[in-house]
């Protein structure tokens, strides 16, 4: 596990984008796991800039998104299909057929979820998974209490998560109660994971995930078991980390070959 504390979320996202760019230059047909929410927006803007100004090529890249609301059409303004199209896909040269997001309009949930897992397998697995973290420690939409071995499936949102996501909907009644999400086990299969967390509101949850016990009550804590998980955070999100000074020391003293 590595914790990289950056002065600001802008700098954290610039570093995250360089991280992805390094992977794509080494492996142009890499498979990326992508996240939604407000956290990765700046990261995607930086990727778009790298594409426009430095020719970062997405032509052979495949993507799998973590989750989608059940019952929302891809055209719905709060759907994650819409989010990804507007915040990333339509600005880069990715082939639409290579982008995957769970189908929120499916009429056969178990079949859709099984096929999503199969598609990830068929693509060779996820090379790098980007994650945010929910205020209650969820990753994807794996709410507290999710099995740490879970696979892609339906989940019921907590009232807290529904309220957190309320600003994206016109009225509270519109916020779906159900979602499709990669499971915790699906996420853990990624060869590398980068979790982004910014702002004071994430500080307590981040500390619980990084320095607390591994528990299904804080699904992000399972990343302590991942061989290659990095937490890319800003100063505000790092305020509750007990070992923050050590993480800074490690970063400042990295051998040159380890630096991005």
Q: Out of 67, 103, 164, 235, which one is annotated catalytic? A: 67
Minimal CB distance residue for ligand GLP = 132
Q: With CB under 6 A as the contact rule, which of the stretches 2-10, 17-25, 127-135, 248-256 interacts with ligand GLP?
A: 127-135
Closest distance to ligand GLP from the beta carbon of 68 (Å): 9
Tell me which residue of 127, 140, 138, 139 sits closest to 19, measured CA to CA. 127
Q: Is 143 a catalytic residue?
A: yes
Print the binding letters for residues 6-45 with ligand GLP: x by CB under 6 A, - otherwise. Answer: -----------------------------xxxxx------
Residues 256 and 260: their CA atoms lie apart, in Å, by 9
Report how far Cα 68 is from the mean position of its chain's Cα atoms.
13
Q: Out of 138, 189, 226, 235, which one is annotated catalytic? A: 138
Closest distance to ligand GLP from the beta carbon of 9 (Å): 11
Closest distance to ligand GLP from the beta carbon of 199 (Å): 8
Print the binding letters for residues 175-214 with ligand GLP: x by CB under 6 A, - otherwise. Answer: ----------------------------------------
> Reduced to 3 states, what is the DSSP secondary structure of residue 71?
coil
Q: Is residue 183 exposed (0-12), middle (13-18) or buried (19+ Cβ within 10 Å)?
A: buried
Print the binding letters for residues 59-78 with ligand GLP: x by CB under 6 A, - otherwise. Answer: -------xx-----------
Helical packing angle, 80-87 and 41-54, nearest 10°: 40
Tell me which residue of 134, 155, 139 sits closest to 70, measured CA to CA. 155
DSSP characters over 31-75: EEEE--SSTTHHHHHHHHHHHHHH----TT-EEEESEEETT--TT
- Is residue 140 close enough to count as binding ligand GLP by CB under 6 A? yes
CB 18 within 8 A of CB 12: no
Residues taking part in catalysis? 67, 136, 138, 143
Q: What are the residues binding ligand GLP (CB under 6 A)?
A: 35-39, 66-67, 132-134, 140-141, 161
């Amino acid at each position: 596990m590595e914790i990289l504390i950056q002065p600001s979320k802008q700098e954290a996202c610039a570093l995250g984008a360089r991280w992805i760019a390094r992977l794509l230059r080494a492996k142009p047909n890499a498979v990326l796991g992508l996240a939604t929410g407000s956290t990765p927006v700046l990261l995607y803007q930086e990727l778009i800039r790298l594409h426009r100004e430095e020719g970062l090529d997405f032509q052979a890249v495949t993507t799998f998104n973590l989750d989608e609301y059940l019952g929302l059409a891809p055209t719905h303004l709060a759907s994650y299909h819409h989010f990804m199209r507007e915040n990333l896909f339509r600005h880069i040269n990715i082939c639409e057929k290579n982008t995957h997001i769970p189908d929120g309009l499916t009429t056969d949930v178990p079949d859709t979820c099984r096929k999503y897992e199969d598609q990830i397998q068929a693509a060779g697995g996820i090379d790098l998974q980007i994650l945010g973290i929910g205020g209650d420690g969820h990753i994807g939409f794996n709410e507290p209490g999710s099995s740490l071995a879970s696979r892609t499936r339906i989940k019921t949102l907590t009232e807290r998560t529904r309220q957190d996501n309320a600003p994206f909907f016109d009225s509270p009644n519109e916020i779906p109660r159900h979602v499709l999400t990669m499971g915790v086990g699906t996420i853990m299969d990624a060869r590398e994971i980068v979790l982004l967390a910014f702002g004071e509101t994430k500080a307590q949850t981040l500390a619980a995930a990084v320095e607390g016990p591994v528990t299904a009550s804080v699904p992000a804590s399972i990343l302590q078991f991942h061989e290659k998980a990095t937490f890319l955070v800003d100063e505000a999100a790092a305020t509750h980390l007990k070992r923050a000074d050590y993480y800074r020391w490690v970063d400042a003293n990295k051998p040159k070959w380890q630096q991005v």
